[in-house]
């Protein structure tokens, strides 16, 4: 028996990592504005952005031939490092580019 299956749509292109992280940080900042006393980096979206950055950094070091890739992977997956507050030029630039948060 032959089954007539419609053509599958073309898959959407993947969003670059830096754009995903920027979107997550923007959402985190918006949520932090609504949640009194909770900094953006402590929201789920802020933590997810940081974790994506940490995992990308770990994969980059492994791809570049790090001496102990298993240790790097294990440390990254353990998520033991403290959350880093979002400060500096990136936060300022995002604020300037998205004036609704100012």
Positive or negative, the Cα torsion across 92, 17, 82, 41?
positive
What per-residue confidence (pLDDT) applies to 88?
A: 54
pLDDT tens column, 16-47? 999 999 999 999 999 998 988 889 999 999 99
Mean pLDDT score of the chain? 83
Q: Spell out the SS3 assignment of 5-53.
A: CCCCCCCCCCCCHHHHHHHHHHHHHHHHHHCCCCCHHHCHHHHHHHHHH
């Amino acid at each position: 028996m032959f089954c007539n299956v419609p053509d599958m749509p073309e898959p959407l292109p993947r969003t670059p990592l830096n754009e995903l992280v920027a979107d997550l940080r923007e959402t985190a900042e918006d949520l932090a504005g609504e949640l009194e006393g909770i900094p953006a980096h402590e929201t789920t979206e802020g933590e997810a952005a940081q974790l994506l950055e940490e995992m990308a950094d770990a994969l980059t070091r492994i791809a570049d031939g790090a001496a102990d890739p298993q240790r790097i992977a294990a440390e990254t997956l353990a998520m033991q490092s403290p959350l880093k507050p979002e400060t500096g030029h990136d936060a300022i630039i995002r604020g300037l580019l998205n004036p609704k948060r100012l």
